[in-house]
Every structure is written in C-alpha cells, then in structure tokens.
Structure 1
Amino acid sequence: MPIVNIQVTREGTSPKRKSVTAKEKAKLIAGVSQLLLDVLGKPLDSTFVVIEEVALENWGWGGLPVPEYRRQRAGKKRSVK
C-alpha cells in the first residue's frame, strides 16, 4: 500500500490565487496514482495520496525562512550585473 505525500506552497502564483484548486488536486492524485500503477504495478485502489498546502511562513530554504532567502538571492542577482 503506497502512501504518497505531496507538499505544495500555499502562496499561489498570482495575487488573486491563494491555493491549489480542487481540480488541480484531483489531477495530482490521479497522476501520481497512475504513475505508481505504471512503474510499480501498484493498484489504484491501494494507493493513498495526501496533499498538504504549506503556508509560506512555515518553510525554509538554504537555512533561512523562504522570504528572507528570496530577498538575499534577489540582491545577489542584481549585484552580479
């Protein structure tokens, strides 16, 4: 019985978009389940997929909270010119 955990950021891709839609979540579940069937032969009815949306303030990158990491990275890109 495979259990797949998918974590996606809740920050959205535009100011109006705040989270992954139900339709997108359904596509992720179907796609991951199909992949496990195709690659490992795991039946769809024995595959569990958990999708968790993570708020921006609850994750880090490079040892920093993500907003700070992005600020530092943006500053380095500007100074490279």
Structure 2
Amino acid sequence: MPYVKIEVTREGVTREQKQQLIKGITDLITSTLNKDPHLTHVVIQEIHLDDWGYAGEQVSVLREKGITAEKK
C-alpha cells in the first residue's frame, strides 16, 4: 500500500490542482512500481505560512519582507 504525503504552504492551491497532484502521483506509482491504484493513498497537507520555516525564519515573515527562497 503506497502512501504519499505532499506538504504545501496554504496559498490558494485549488481543488483542481490537488486533483491533478493526486492523479499524477497515483499514475506515476502505478506505472513505475506496478502498484494497484486502488491501494495507493495520497494525502495533501496545507501548512499555514506561520508554521513553515526557512533559513531560520517563518515563511510568513520572509514573504512580508519580500524574500523568497529564490532570492536568498
């Protein structure tokens, strides 16, 4: 039973985008590992920006400063 957990920051990921992720990951595991898609579980967890840290700071604070991972 494959289990995949995707964590993203809570920034407006749409229902359709989540469905694309779930379908794409399931298809990849099915074709690569020959696993039954009915036994494949994909969980998407959205994390509030205050609860995600990067380079020693909360992402919410970095965004307020106009800093992104690409700019560091």
TM-score bucket (shorter structure): 0.7 to 0.9
What displacement does 1:42 show? 1.1
Residue 10 of structure 1 aligns with which residue? 10
Residue 64 of structure 1 aligns with which residue? 57
Instruction: For residues 3-41 of structure 1, give each alpha carbon's deviation from its aligned partner in whole angstroms, at most 9, with x where no partner exists.
Output: 100111113xxxxxxx21111111110000001011111
| Pairing 1:48–2:41 present | yes
Larger radius of gyration: 1
TM, length-normalised to structure 2: 0.78
Q: Is there any run of 5+ residues in structure 2 with no aligned partner, and where?
A: none
Name the structure where helix makes up a greater proportion of residues: 1
Q: Is there any run of 5+ residues in structure 1 with no aligned partner, and where?
A: 12-18
What displacement does 1:68 show? 4.0
Residues 2/68 of structure 1: CA separation in 2 closer, same or farther (3 Å cut): same
TM, length-normalised to structure 1: 0.71
Q: Is the 8 A contact 1:62 1:69 kept in 2?
A: no
| Structure 2 counterpart of 1:20, one-letter code | V
| Residues 23-38 of structure 1: pairs in structure 2 closer than 5 A | 23-38=16-31
Aligned length: 68
- Where 2:18 maps in the other structure, the secondary structure is helix
